[in-house]
């Protein structure tokens, strides 16, 4: 399978600001693994279930803080096996802290052909998530694969 290469790439390192695939043990800047998975957040949003297509190279989530103060959020990617209980996938639930106007992302390779869900827990309505699927290791989005902030659903308690 031919994988599209990102433009503006210098050697194997993408230009600043360009998205790239993360190692499963690599965490986004200002992120820590969150083992507690307990409350503490006012809002919970979900992509709902979606299928990774055959040609997917990675699943990427992005989070933007448009609030005027630093915000914390928990992001969890779940694998939703048909007929089984959904389970968090590596690297696991991530607790991120974002300064005003900042964004972060995490892109990892997951098994294509399976159903996934991304959940974002936060306390501000001004945190905006997005999810997209790439065919390779750099931020080239598969057309039609993006789930924008406006498409995330609020999970009612």
What is the SS3 assignment for 133? strand
Which pair of tokens denotes residue 110?
Answer: 């997951």
**Contact indicator for 120, 63 with CB cutoff of 8 Å:** yes
- Reported as type and span, the H/E element at residue 131 is strand 127-134
Domains for the chain: give ranges and CATH numbers.
31-154 (2.60.290.11)
d(CA 21, CA 83): 30
Q: Which of 102, 113, 142 is nearest to 52 (CA)?
A: 113
Q: With bands split at pLDDT 50, 70 and 90, how would you rate the model's confidence at 139? A: confident
Which pair of tokens denotes residue 82?
Answer: 């048909």
**Contact indicator for 108, 96 with CB cutoff of 8 Å:** no
Q: What is the dihedral of CA 110, 116, 121, 125, to 10 degrees?
A: 110
d(CA 146, CA 134): 10
When pLDDT is averaged across residues 86-111 and rounded to a whole number, the result is 93
When pLDDT is averaged across residues 98-119 and rounded to a whole number, the result is 94
Query: Residue 108, Cα to own-chain centre: how many angstroms?
Result: 9
Pairing label, strands 31-33, 71-79: unpaired
Q: What pTM was computed for the model? A: 0.78
**pLDDT on residue 137:** 72
pLDDT of 79 > 90? The answer is yes
């Amino acid at each position: 399978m031919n994988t599209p290469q990102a433009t503006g790439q210098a050697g194997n390192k993408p230009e600043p600001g360009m998205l790239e695939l993360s190692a499963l043990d690599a965490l986004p800047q200002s992120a820590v693994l969150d083992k507690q998975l307990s409350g503490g957040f006012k809002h919970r949003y979900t992509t709902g279930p979606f299928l990774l297509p055959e040609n997917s190279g990675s699943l990427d989530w992005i989070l933007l803080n448009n609030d005027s103060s630093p915000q914390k959020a928990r992001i969890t990617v779940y694998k939703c096996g048909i007929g089984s209980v959904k389970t968090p996938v590596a690297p696991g639930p991530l607790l991120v802290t974002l300064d005003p106007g900042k964004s972060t992302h995490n892109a990892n390779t997951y098994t294509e052909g399976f159903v996934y869900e991304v959940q974002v827990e936060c306390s501000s309505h001004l945190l905006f998530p997005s999810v997209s699927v790439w065919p390779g290791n750099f931020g080239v989005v598969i057309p039609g694969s993006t789930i924008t902030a406006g498409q995330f659903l609020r999970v009612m308690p």
